[in-house]
Structure 1
């Protein structure tokens, strides 16, 4: 009887032990070189953020509190960079902590002592004047020039510079936030947002779906909201609201088109905030609230593919996220492909093919720029020890797109659409690396339909494989004939350009002959006034060509300087600064940059610092 009771007791103990072990997270995270966190030991699952936005001192201060899961660990590690850590608590009681050695790219590991029963940690902190994610703007740096403005930019590893956090894309958390701002301003986040100002400047936010830390975003300014539909709308400064509302009036149609392709939109609301011109990117796909540059406000909806791109991220990137920054192409290649499908559905195949053709030209330029470093043209990268921004270029975007378009043409669009929809559904609210994607591709498309495809050559080797899809545009062929005619006859026939889209104008300017004369540029400028174009994309490519060919007419030097001081979009300004450098005009570039640099976000400034050797 004793033996029976002893055996029964052992069985109960084993069952109890197994039950307890079920609460310990499995070792499911892969090694991630851009975060100090060790999530297989202890990982955050939810954040409660309580902060005050102090414009007078250009500082955020408050606390970040986290629910955690622990594998019976004795410490949890967060990422922190250029933050002042004032105190740390574990389950409401002070606990010991330390900041590890500083790394230029990664910052410091914040090591917090816990025990195996710890459920919550709280970090009291404040930002510093070195915080890279934040840009504090004076009133004169905004559009309306009446109130200051603040916005954050967390991608790729900058969230750790305004919140101490496990800053890895494979760690997904939900969050609530309380944010105090001056009463005349409104705060919005990548979360459920207010539609009007509160009287006291107190705002509360909730993000119910788990997101990676780089998508946590905050903007504070004198902004207003105007709805487009019951789930789409625009935030902007007062003078920009109507312009932005008109420009982005197709947003609801874009969401509906995207859902028809690859399944239900998972984030309830899709709003866009138009930020001041110093915002470093075209757009940032923060869930529920895309951040966008005002440089896409062209007055004719011609640059709204950017909005289609950021919307597509709601599936590729936000819903299914690259596990590491080495896998960044999984975010961007898929998104460019999805963007083109949305644009085709709304505006026709010609428009989509023109966009894709421009991307193909960008890819050629990128590959040429990496001729001495061919490994940089692989889709799967090795960015260990480097800034992940190094991989955010046309390879991830346009080679990634070309790979997927080639897959589509090989497998057939119907089969490929079924595959993609399945991919998004099976991996929703999770992360994936390149190797797991290849396994999924083989099982669910290539082997299923007995398709032979050189997947490894596309992903793991340099350059572009020979079986690439060929992207052509009849409209671009017409543009090229128009260039030849203008140069050959010395006559500009303006009737030949009537009805041109922005993409046709960009193709026109970018494809001038290498030996084009300044007289021809003057003739074209006099006819179309490109130097004073209100379309920032056309202006950017025109200024690049002017520098390339030493065209100095129509007061263009002043216009280039004004553009570089006013616009902070990294792609645009780096294109122009590169043209200066390429043409042995670095001194001219530096003279302008010294005036412009204070208007740039750290993301842009760091890039141009390196480009021009600015100290």
Structure 2
């Protein structure tokens, strides 16, 4: 009894002292979630079997799980056991603190079984879709899995996962991994069991239960591709989502093998336009139109299966390694399937988004001050991240850049990476030093603001001028200048390397330029204008 009192005191006292992050002292090897859903109310009943590897000696283990709030939403834990033995625990301030039956040494694996239930406050969206039909869709990003499953809710911890879902038998259930069982239990209930052996961060663990029409689209490199569509929209949805098969084939050829055993593209009630859940991508229900306007969305989410899912950012501050990559891989896909003009248009549109964002917010891409991670879903993480990769490609050349992308994925597939890791890989692939490049584009807010003044000297047959960087810190970058001389059908394009706040230039010409353009190919992230001096 004395030990019980001591452990309970330790749970209450040490909890606040260890509040840096509940799961920072463990590495989860696997989860198994047995969850029951029903149509009478929004309550779920769950049992979680968690295999945790201890990263240091401890007699305490902590997991993320949202506590019941005053409105009655949240999870309540009824029992925690190890080898059938009840363990003492507290569940306060969204953290489950468990007193281990015996002290665990560093490297030990402890298997805990947690019985719990409640109404999810978030994370598992329960409600009616646009057609009025009830459904259940998990929506975990960034750290919202804790609302319905006990877990180490951080992208740095990847684990194998199983979902065993008991639900009313009129629902079809989709989840990560391979379906290994579907059994009618009687009493209008059905059990569906999925298993994913490739370790995943919690942000991309997923279940969906709804009335679906499911279509097998065929295989890509022995990977079956499926479309899961609301029955009311199945014809439009099957047509729209059929794009996924060719997109998957493209990225396999470009980057490397697909890591999972299937690809399911699922119409859902996700709060996002799309959510890249591993092997079971959720798309917003309005993505289905029958016009295939969702092609860029599908490409973006499939690209995430490599970047974000397998090669995962080590922390949310490095989110651009996920969203910037998916954004640029989408443009790369369109460049190869729809042509360079389409890719140029997409970069121009993305540049406008970055400039609009930067005029209002003065944060760098890598911003460690953010604690509300939903705020990171912005033009810095997406469009600017994509632009950084495009400019890196321009600096490295296509061949070296592709080598770097493949090497980065190969090295960090199944692992976590930081921006410094990507920088090192790209430097190795190119033989170049990118210290200043990464510092200015990712750790410094804003982008070059250029004031270019030029004039034509008829006597000397010269164009001369000055490029002024008007932002506080000078960036280093190449910029293309183009002009068309009278009588010419094609413009002359000259590339300059700009390093300082002021750069002068002078070029010979045969006739007065009819026009002068900055960055005609849309290859530089900048704002500004060029003015002719008389």
TM-score of Structure 1 vs Structure 2, range by shorter chain: 0.7 to 0.9
Partner of 2:391: 406
The correspondence of residues 5-16 of structure 1 with structure 2, limited to 5 A, is: none
List gaps (5 residues or longer) in structure 1.
Answer: 1-31, 473-615
Call closer, same or farther: CA 1:426–1:342 in 2, change over 3 Å: same
The correspondence of residues 438-477 of structure 1 with structure 2, limited to 5 A, is: 438-445=423-430, 448-449=431-432, 454-465=437-448
Q: Distance in 2 between matches of 1:196 and 1:227?
A: 18
Q: Distance in 1 between matches of 2:425 and 2:151?
A: 31
Q: Distance in 1 between matches of 2:339 and 2:111?
A: 52
Q: Distance in 2 between matches of 1:412 and 1:440?
A: 15
Call closer, same or farther: CA 1:303–1:470 in 2, change over 3 Å: farther
Call closer, same or farther: CA 1:468–1:89 in 2, change over 3 Å: farther
- Does the aligned pair in 2 maintain the 1:195–1:224 contact within 8 Å? no
Which TM-score applies when normalising by structure 2?
0.74
- Aligned counterpart in structure 1 of residue 303 of structure 2, from 301, 305, 312: 312
**Alpha-carbon deviation of 1:119?**
2.6
Higher RCO, 1 vs 2 (CA within 8 Å, ≥6 residues apart): 1
- Aligned counterpart in structure 2 of residue 132 of structure 1, from 100, 110, 122: 122
- Aligned counterpart in structure 1 of residue 43 of structure 2, from 59, 62, 84: 59
Partner of 2:234: 241
SS of equivalent residue, structure 1 residue 187: strand
Q: Distance in 2 between matches of 1:337 and 1:233?
A: 25
SS of equivalent residue, structure 2 residue 31: strand
C-alpha RMSD over aligned residues: 2.5
- Aligned counterpart in structure 2 of residue 159 of structure 1, from 124, 127, 145: 145
**Alpha-carbon deviation of 1:165?**
0.6
Call closer, same or farther: CA 1:194–1:402 in 2, change over 3 Å: same
- Provide the aligned length of Structure 1 versus Structure 2: 419
Call closer, same or farther: CA 1:48–1:456 in 2, change over 3 Å: same
Q: Distance in 2 between matches of 1:413 and 1:157?
A: 36
Higher strand share: 2
Q: Does 1:49 align with 2:38?
A: no
Q: Distance in 2 between matches of 1:348 and 1:47?
A: 44
Call closer, same or farther: CA 1:78–1:157 in 2, change over 3 Å: same
- Aligned counterpart in structure 1 of residue 376 of structure 2, from 391, 398, 415: 391
**Alpha-carbon deviation of 1:471?**
11
- Aligned counterpart in structure 2 of residue 37 of structure 1, from 23, 28, 39: 23
Partner of 2:3: none
Which TM-score applies when normalising by structure 1?
0.64
Q: Does 1:92 align with 2:81?
A: no
Q: Distance in 1 between matches of 2:305 and 2:328?
A: 13
SS of equivalent residue, structure 1 residue 54: coil
Q: Does 1:342 align with 2:342?
A: no
**Alpha-carbon deviation of 1:134?**
1.9
Q: Which runs of 4+ in 1 moved over 6 A?
A: 194-197, 468-472
Q: Deviations over 1:219-277 (max 9, x none)?
A: 1111121011122121011121221111122211111111111111111312200114x
- Aligned counterpart in structure 1 of residue 278 of structure 2, from 287, 300, 311: 287
Q: Distance in 2 between matches of 1:302 and 1:313?
A: 19
Q: Distance in 1 between matches of 2:394 and 2:196?
A: 38
- Does the aligned pair in 2 maintain the 1:84–1:128 contact within 8 Å? no
**Alpha-carbon deviation of 1:470?**
8.0
Call closer, same or farther: CA 1:469–1:178 in 2, change over 3 Å: farther
**Alpha-carbon deviation of 1:444?**
3.5
List gaps (5 residues or longer) in structure 2.
Answer: 1-17, 67-73, 449-474, 482-534
Q: Does 1:415 align with 2:407?
A: no
Q: Distance in 2 between matches of 1:469 and 1:335?
A: 25
SS of equivalent residue, structure 2 residue 29: strand
**Alpha-carbon deviation of 1:464?**
1.7
Higher helix share: 1
